Copies of this chain bind each other. A is one copy, B any other.
């Protein structure tokens, strides 16, 4: 389907269910997509960080985007991550996700290399010039180890290079500068500013953001859709209550023992355990070399679900 401009609403970064031997579990993936679509979300983002894109082989990535695009069949827009180190490698991903029918691509700044802001801008210009669908920038300093500046994002938006921003930087001041900059700039139209935060979606929407891309929406899409609607209706008090319920639920990402596993294992492990406990996916398996949650930690995830009324 043609991308709405701007894209608005709740756009979950879709988890990638795996079989116990770590192949993409397509039936589980499609059940998860149905769960999200049934929850009322406005778009799907596959191959993002919450999708374990960093852990999937190219073959697996292709299978994910083809399966989801085919299954969704134009009912709502599908954005696909093109997560790799630098421009030439990102362009290879752009090629196959667009061939598979993705409605937009999402790319970070280069990582692993030591890159100047001018080179980051060049990176996005090169991608956009060779990409047939809209390009979203993905600001994720915790993974990429650089921050996209608000001025640079606005400049690329005004040039038509970028169609939107997924901001997972946690820098609310910079996020606000993009939101208000987009509104003030006569040359920018249809640009979508999305927060990647689970915890301050109400604040982001109050500032004027277009939507949210919360990993936790895999577990509770209805909650985020409700939150989005309450914000749009200006019912800030009930929005706050819903947001706080989701903040409590988000506590599950710390269920894994930090002395034993990394933050990715704990957070992605918790999301998958929750989807498994809710009966949506067949196995909570995460990709190598992540360490699985223990039975006690999985039980902890169950308590978070129960506390949020989801079990």
A residues sitting closer than 8 Å to B (CB atoms) are: 22, 54-58, 60, 83, 85-89, 91-92, 110-116, 118-120, 122-123, 126, 142-145, 170-173, 176-177, 180, 197-200, 202-203, 206-208, 234, 236, 240, 244, 247, 258-265, 287-291
Contacts and interface: CB of A to CB of B under 8 A. Distances in A.
Nearest to A174: B199
A144 B113 CA distance: 9
A181 B206 CA distance: 22
Contacts of A145: 145
Contact of A289 (B86, B197, B244): B86
A208 B126 CA distance: 44
Contact of A92 (B58, B114, B260): B58
Given A172-B203, A173-B199, A207-B240, A86 B262 contact: no
A96 B13 CA distance: 31
6 contacts: A60-B88, A86-B289, A114-B264, A119-B289, A202-B206, A259-B259
A311 to B, nearest CB: 21
A173 B197 contact: yes
B240 A86 contact: no
A234, A289, A291 interface centre (most CB from chain B within 10 Å) = A289
A208 B56 CA distance: 40
Tell me how many chains of this kind the complex includes. Answer: 4
A301 B126 CA distance: 28
A263 B112 CA distance: 12
Contact of A247 (B83, B110, B122, B180): B180
Contacts of A177: 247
A173 B200 contact: yes
A197 B177 CA distance: 14
A3 to B, nearest CB: 25
Contacts of A120: 289
B112 A143 contact: yes
